[in-house]
Structures are given as structure tokens and as C-alpha cells.
Structure 1
Amino acid sequence: MPVKQKKESSNILSIDIGGTSIKACILSPKGDLLSEFKKIPTPKNAKPEAVIKVISELVALLDLEFGRVSIGFPGYVKCGIVYTAPNLAKDKWRQVDLARQVSDLLGCPVRLINDADQQALGIVSGKGFEIVLTVGTGFGTALVFDGELLPHFELAHFPVSKTKDYDDYIGTKALERIGKKDWNERLEQVIQTYKTVFNYDTLYIGGGNSKHITFELAPNIKPVTNKDGIKGGAKLWEVAEKYHVYTTHPSKTPDNE
């Protein structure tokens, strides 16, 4: 693989792992987009080794150097370890040290968090209680107060009935099964629940299926795109000491310079 990273580069390789596609681009330290988005379809029943292979292929498509990596992952992540990935390969992502594996692959430090959390870092205003919802293959959430990420809750797996959670209720499979009209009604119900439970100041809605929203959004609800949240990959490197850095060269990491 023609790896182009150099550890002295301050650029950031930002990766977004989704249930439909895996995307990557190069960012400046301030979050400016330096390259085009490159994306490759997510392999069916994507196991860790398949995702690593796609990341390798994406890096080969990018022409700019980078010295750090940010990864948004669709599941529960803690200290660089993946614990769940319900929309990838079921039961194949338990305690997978993905940050370490990508660091070993690329030879530079990696920070790995939930994909909605990473997007939130690039989107929110930093004022008050803000929530980011992503409606795509599954259902993602991020909670932010005055610009600081709150502990991640996998609210996608909160039950809405005896047999369904939010992933089942509002994810892509539900959209395909019940159609756009009923899906929009469900999403309105979800938003009303969040308004009642969290009393947020601002709600952001992103994800691939947000383009199917047909109802009018309240003034404090804002639609966003993946590009709106791209700065999150850079912002993650400004959050000192909050996320563990995994690297094959610990003496070279920005935190130790």
C-alpha cells in the first residue's frame, strides 16, 4: 500500500465508518478540507479485517500527507476499543482494539470515538445543551453541553417496544419496510420524545436518511450533512487528554512533543 503519511505532518486523516460506506479525507489542523472525500462501500457483514482493508484502500486514494488519524465508528467505543457494532458484523466487534490496529497499519497516532460524537464536535455551536441525531443505517446520538461532549449513551438500543429499539424503529430497514410517510411520522415522534426528555437548546439532524425528511422542523432543529461535521475529525485533536491516543510511535505523538 502506498502510504503517504509522515509523522511530522500536522494534517489529519479523518475517517467515517458507516453502515453503507466508509469515507475519508485529509483535513488541516483547523478542520479545512484539503482533499476530496473518498468513499468505498462498506463490505457486507463487515468484520474488523474487512474494515481495515477498506481503510488501507482509501489511504491509497489520497495524495496528501498526514500525521494523525481521527476515526468515527458506528458503535460504542471506549479508549480506542470497540465494544459494539450492530450495523456492521454482529458479534464480531467485541473488544476490538481498532485504534491500535489502524495505528499499526499507518504508523501514526489514532483517536477513535463514536461517529455521531465526532460529527457533533464539528457541528455544534458550543452554546447550551445540544444534541446531534444521525438517521442512517442505524440511529446515532451525541450529547454536548457548552461545546463539551458528554459521556456517550447508545440510545439507539433503548427499547421502544418489547421487540424493537430505536435502530429497528427508525433505521434504514424500517424506512424501506414502512415507506417515507410512516417513517417521517416515526421520526417526528422520536424528536418529540427527545424534546420532552432532554429539553435541548438545539437539535441537529444528519445522516444519509435525513434527506427524506418532509415535515417542517422547529426553529431550534437544524438539518446538517456529513460535510458539515467534517471538522470534528480535526476538533478531536484539540480535546487534550480526553481521548486516549493509540500509536506505534508513542514518543512521536503530538501530546508528547
Structure 2
Amino acid sequence: MSDSSQPVEEEPVYKDGPRPYTLAVDIGGTGLKASVLDANGNMVAPRVKIPTPYPNPPEQLVASLTELVTSLPKAERASAGFPGMVRDGMVLTAPSFSCVQGTGSPVDPALVEKWTRFNLSAELTKAFNIPTKVANDADIQSVAVVSGKGLELTVTLGTGFGTGMLYNGQLLPHLEISHLIFRKNETFDQQLGQAARKEIGNKRWNKRVLKAIDVMRTLMAFDHLYLGGGNSQHVHPETLPDDVTIVSNSAGILGGIDLWEPDHIGVHHDVDH
């Protein structure tokens, strides 16, 4: 069994660093977070955060993010992690934001229509006035934590269940595993999301996490799996196999700079530098 321990969140030292600066935005189902990273991936300003508003159509999200980042230092480029299927900077699905009050609340067909094929990359490029790349939020966490060796999987445990996969450090196209049936005719999201953890308690929820890891192992024979997201703090590290590691939730921000690396298959590269 692993002797992994919960990562200790230390307050970083903020100072000017080498450019280019990257505005890194983490769009979550419960909170919107942002900071600015220097060329080495170090934060040059404290992270800012606000609750995710609901209902949350595209225009509301863009306005909220524009307001959120006003106090941050000027950056030359931006990246944003989004909780849904994103391809070439375009949102294909937005499960949380298609619901009136987020995951678990009724789906609003009007919100589904607004979010489907919404070009979030283009709209944030205009709003921030800098080139902006957008990818799935779990994918962005993934590029920040992997070793770059073999097939590595990141699972984010937060409002829902997210995954990101890399092979030899190269981000692969995103798969929405969270919406597949996991057990008892419920999806990974429904069985392992925040609502389920609160309903059944951490002990039973941890057993489900271990079962999900087994499923992921069978599905892709990963070389290493990383557990992140806000609810990773509730995982019992002593129960984890040796090839599973808990990582800091700050990876959702810190992965923003890595998204600009040119060799990721799962990211669009037609944004002007």
C-alpha cells in the first residue's frame, strides 16, 4: 500500500518572474479561480476566487471571469480549464452549467442550447484581450502533475468526477468518462461527486473511490494515477495502491502554463501567440 500523505498547501512567495506571463483560470462547478504565472510556472500574484453563479449561461460566465481577473497583473496569454467536453476551444457539453443551479438540479434546455458549440476560447480571447486557450479542467490539472513517463491518468474529485490522460507527457484527447455508468445504474459523477460524498459519508465514499480506481486500471492499464480536486482531501491515503498519488488542488491553476506547450494532441494550437 502507498505511504502517500495529503499534500500540504503552503502559502507561496509572490514576486515578479520571467515572461511571458500566463493568466490561468480554473472554472469549477462551485468556484471560479484565477492567478497569473510567470514563464517558470510560479504565481506572481495571490489567487483570486468567487463562487460560481447560477444560472450560468455563457454570457454570465464570461462576464464573471472578466470581473474576476481585473485585479491581477497583466499577462500576455491565458488558459482556462472548463468542466465539460472542450474541443479546439469550443464547448461541446457543459453538464453543470446546463442545469439551473448546477449539478443535481434540473436541466434547462435553453442553457443546453446556449452552451453547445459555444466558442469559449474566442470569447475569452476578446474579453481578456489576450490569446486564450481552453481545455477540460481535469486535463489542465493533469499536465501540471504528471512525470511524463508512460500512460498517466489524473482523476479529479470535486463537484463531479473528472479525468485527464497523458502519454509520455503529451495530453491526449479528452474522454467524458464521468458520464458513463459506474455502478447501480448511476454515473461516475453521481456516485463520486460532492453530493454523493455528503449523502453517504467519507467512509463509504472512499470505498467507491477505490472501486473507481480499479475500473480505470482495467480500462486503460495506467502506469500511474493522480488524485486531485477539492475532495481529494477526503481520500484516505493509507488505503491507496502504490501507483496512486494524491496531488495538490492548486494544479488546476498551475497547469495553465503547460497548456501552451506545442506538443499536446488534445489542445488546439491555432490561437495567435
| TM tier relative to shorter chain | 0.7 to 0.9
CA distances 1:208-235 after superposition (whole Å, capped 9, x unpaired): 1111112521221110122245332111
**Aligned position for 1:103:** 125
Shift of 1:195: 1.9
2:57 maps to 1:47 = yes
Choose 99-108 or 227-236, whichever is displaced more: 227-236
Question: Which segments of structure 1 move beyond 4 Å, counting only runs of 4 or more?
Answer: none
2:46 maps to 1:24 = no
**Residues of 1 paired with 2:243 and 2:53: CA distance?**
36
Shift of 1:162: 6.7
Which structure 2 residue ranges, 5 or more long, are not aligned? 1-18, 100-111
2:261 maps to 1:238 = yes
Q: Is the 8 A contact 2:26 2:253 kept in 1?
A: no
Paired residue for 1:80, among 89, 105, 114? 89
**Residues of 2 paired with 1:29 and 1:202: CA distance?**
27
Choose 221-230 or 235-244, whichever is displaced more: 235-244
Shift of 1:245: 5.1
Paired residue for 1:65, among 63, 74, 85? 74
CA distances 1:41-97 after superposition (whole Å, capped 9, x unpaired): 0012322122112111111121x1101010111100011110111122332411111
Which structure 1 residue ranges, 5 or more long, are not aligned? 1-8, 248-252
Percent same amino acid among aligned pairs? Answer: 39
**Residues of 1 paired with 2:45 and 2:134: CA distance?**
21
Choose 176-185 or 76-85, whichever is displaced more: 176-185
**Aligned residue pairs: how many?**
240
**Residues of 1 paired with 2:269 and 2:56: CA distance?**
24
Q: Is the 8 A contact 1:82 1:96 kept in 2?
A: yes
Q: Is the 8 A contact 1:83 1:96 kept in 2?
A: yes
Paired residue for 1:190, among 212, 215, 224? 212
Alignment map for 1:83-94 (pairs within 5 Å): 83-90=92-99, 91=112, 92-94=114-116
Q: Is the 8 A contact 1:116 1:140 kept in 2?
A: yes
**Residues of 1 paired with 2:121 and 2:80: CA distance?**
8
**Residues of 2 paired with 1:246 and 1:172: CA distance?**
36
Find the residue that maps to 1:87 and give its secondary structure. Answer: coil
